[in-house]
Amino acid sequence: MRKLLLTSAAVLAAAATALAVAQPASAETAAFTVVSSWSNGYQGQVAVTNTTSSTITTWRVELTFPAGTTVAQSWNATQSGTVFTPASWNGTLAPGASTSFGFIANGSGRPTACRINGVSCDGSTPPPTTPPVTTPPPTGTTPVAINGQLRVCGVHLCNSSGQAIQLQGMSTHGLQWFADCYNDASLDALATDWRADLLRVSMYVQEQGYETNPSGFTSRVNSLVDEASERGLYAIIDFHTLTPGDPNYNLANAKTFFANVSARNAAKPNVIYEITNEPNGVSWAGIKSYAEQVIPVIRANDPDAVIIVGTPGWSSLGVSEGSNSSQIIANPVNASNIMYAFHFYAASHKDNYRAEVQRAAASLPLFVTEFGTVTYTGGGAVDLASTTTWLDLLDQLQISYANWTYSDADESSAAFRPGTCGGPTYAGTGVLTESGTYMRNRIRN
């Protein structure tokens, strides 16, 4: 572990790796400069340089500003208040390598102090009058109570304390078809019997979905977010685009929908936005353009939530269309606190898909927002061997996931036996399919 020392003539600030352990002084350096200023603010820049003889894999800059000065926005870093960690592409620095990030400050105050994981920039223990900023301990036992507001740090999903975490949960089926499956009893079972962390709320846009009744489907999504919140579960709001595959077809609908749900749910710490489900037959440039138009709509209301962007080839990082993640790594979405979706179906997608995930995970923050234990059709035999290999890999890489599907659809991917959603019982294994039994046991354990 190493420390980043940030100095300038006027201020001291710092960067460090995210693990709070003792570190040698002056291992790396970073310099703060004012690029431009105006009457009520300025643009600042921090350049981080690895001056050691070893590669570093992450850094953490925490700036302290005087009262009246805040950071309005930043780029080339993941921002949480006045703490900055790498974006998806600039956490690893070879010896002698540098990176930088910038920010816009509201107010004229320059940074007055720095923290390096609780110690001063020079490696000494800070005096008692300036204790490090700490996160209050959790006051509950639910996933949200324990982890709080999530953020992206480097290539990981992290909790409010900056610890990398993995969420495990289930995805709904289309709300237009299986509304009866999402009631108090079924959601209680997901939270307490399955011990899941999240519910993905899958709202189709076409296929008798959102476009047929925008206000009705928006209301239904908000209600399910409330239900997840009451149970301490994280909720992914999935704008479930599939056909047509170009998300730009739904750009106007996406802006309207996400403006509404982000304004309504901005105060909730448990909401994650998935802005396009499975882009297909469209270039990465097209997906990126869509994302860079929709993300600001969400950020205008909810500056802190994690946002997930779909990837080419039905969110396969391009593999299902003969490509790979290189195009995304070379040209990432110009936004902070985002992740990239990956989907797989265990009976259809095997070693070459797993190899690409392992390669991409070194550079991109990934979230498996949908996967099945069966073929990509949602049917066929359950492939427990491939599913286990997949989930072992995701556990190893700390990649979060949601299984398709928490429903009683007449297909082998469904967790419940057909007819279950018409009755009162959802807990236990008696109402579960082979896939549901496996997933419940996997998530519980």
pLDDT score of 407: 98
CATH superfamily entry for domain 143-444 = Glycosidases (3.20.20.80)
Three-class SS of residue 145? helix
Residue 85 contacts by C-beta under 8 Å, 6 or more apart in sequence? 18, 58, 59, 60, 61, 77, 78, 91, 153, 154, 162
Domain positions in the chain are 3-115, 143-444
Dihedral sign from CA coordinates of 65, 67, 68, 71:
positive
Q: Which tens digit of pLDDT belongs to each residue from 12-62?
A: 333 333 322 233 334 466 677 888 777 778 888 888 877 777 777 777 778
pLDDT score of 122: 43
Closest-CA residue to 5 (of 97, 100, 122, 101): 122
CB 264 within 8 A of CB 222: yes
**pLDDT less than 70: residues of the chain:** 1-30, 113-139
Phi-psi region of 439 (alpha: psi -120 to 50; beta: other; left: phi over 0): alpha
pLDDT score of 2: 26
pLDDT score of 324: 97
Residue with tokens 């908000």: 222
Q: Is the peptide bond before 244 cis (omega within 30 degrees of 0)?
A: yes
Helix, strand, coil % (nearest 5) of the chain?
30, 25, 45
Three-class SS of residue 150? coil
pLDDT score of 231: 97
Burial bucket for residue 72 (CB in 10 Å: 0-12, 13-18, 19+): exposed
- Structure tokens of 242? 């599939």
Please tell me what DSSP assigns to residue 404. E
- What is the spatial distance between Cα 415 and Cα 406, in angstroms, rounded to a whole number? 5
Closest-CA residue to 238 (of 272, 280, 287, 267): 272
Q: What length does the chain have?
A: 445
pLDDT score of 30: 65
pLDDT score of 72: 80
In 176-221, where do the E strands start and end? 198-204
Catalytic residue selected from 278, 321, 356, 434? 278
Closest-CA residue to 187 (of 134, 235, 136): 235
370 a catalytic residue: yes
Instruction: Spell out the CATH class of 3-115.
Output: mainly beta
274 a catalytic residue: no
pLDDT score of 145: 96
Q: Distance from CA of residue 9 to its chain's centroid? A: 37
pLDDT score of 31: 73
